[in-house]
């Protein structure tokens, strides 16, 4: 089973994975998390969209297909690795602003500008499915 049984039926799985993602963000990108927290920015809405649709319509098609291929081969850790990679790639842009609306637009639209090659070249490593299951 790649995703928990209740991932889509009642969204409990999505909510749990959202908390797992937040935990990983604090661990891997603490400076960005601190900036977002200081501004009172809640990334739950945007990250939830990524998790529910598995990045469909949030990346260019060739990048989406690569994510899906990796997801089916490597498992759920790929979703977290892609999300962290996107935040890492947009980190400087987010840190350069303190406008809530601008940050929302950066995060919402950034993925559509990321090429497949850039995404795969920068893909976070070191996050294993076992770690995700433990955090859940």
Domain that holds residue 124: 12-135
Run means of pLDDT, 10 residues per run, the chain, 136 residues: 77 90 96 96 93 95 97 93 97 96 94 96 87 84
| Residue 7 parent element (H or E) | none
User: What's 49's domain CATH number?
Assistant: 1.10.472.80
Determine the pLDDT at residue 8.
Answer: 79
Determine the pLDDT at residue 80.
Answer: 96
Determine the pLDDT at residue 122.
Answer: 97
Q: Whole-prediction pTM value? A: 0.91
Count Cβ atoms below 10 Å from residue 104 Cβ, excluding itself.
15
Q: List the structure tokens of 37.
A: 């927290």
DSSP 45-81: HHHHHHHHHTTTTTS-HHHHHHHHHHHHHH-THHHHH
Determine the pLDDT at residue 1.
Answer: 64
Q: How many domains does the chain have?
A: 1
Q: List the structure tokens of 68.
A: 């899906």
The CA distances from residue 108 to 13, 128, 135, in Å, are 22, 26, 26
Q: Are 114 and 86 in contact (CB under 8 A)?
A: yes
Q: For residue 1, is it within any domain?
A: no
Q: For residue 2, is it within any domain?
A: no
């Amino acid at each position: 089973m790649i995703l928990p049984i209740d991932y889509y039926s009642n969204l409990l799985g999505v909510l749990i994975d959202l908390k797992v993602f937040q935990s990983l963000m604090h661990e891997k990108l603490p400076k960005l998390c601190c900036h977002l927290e200081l501004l009172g920015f809640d990334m739950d809405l945007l990250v939830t969209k990524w998790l529910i649709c598995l990045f469909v319509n949030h990346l260019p098609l060739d990048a989406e297909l690569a994510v899906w291929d990796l997801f089916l081969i490597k498992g759920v850790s790929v979703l977290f690795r892609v999300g962290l990679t996107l935040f890492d790639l947009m980190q400087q842009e987010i840190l350069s602003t303190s406008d809530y609306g601008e940050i929302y637009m950066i995060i919402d639209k950034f993925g559509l500008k990321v090429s497949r090659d850039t995404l795969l070249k920068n893909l976070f490593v070191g996050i294993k499915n076992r770690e995700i299951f433990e955090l859940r």
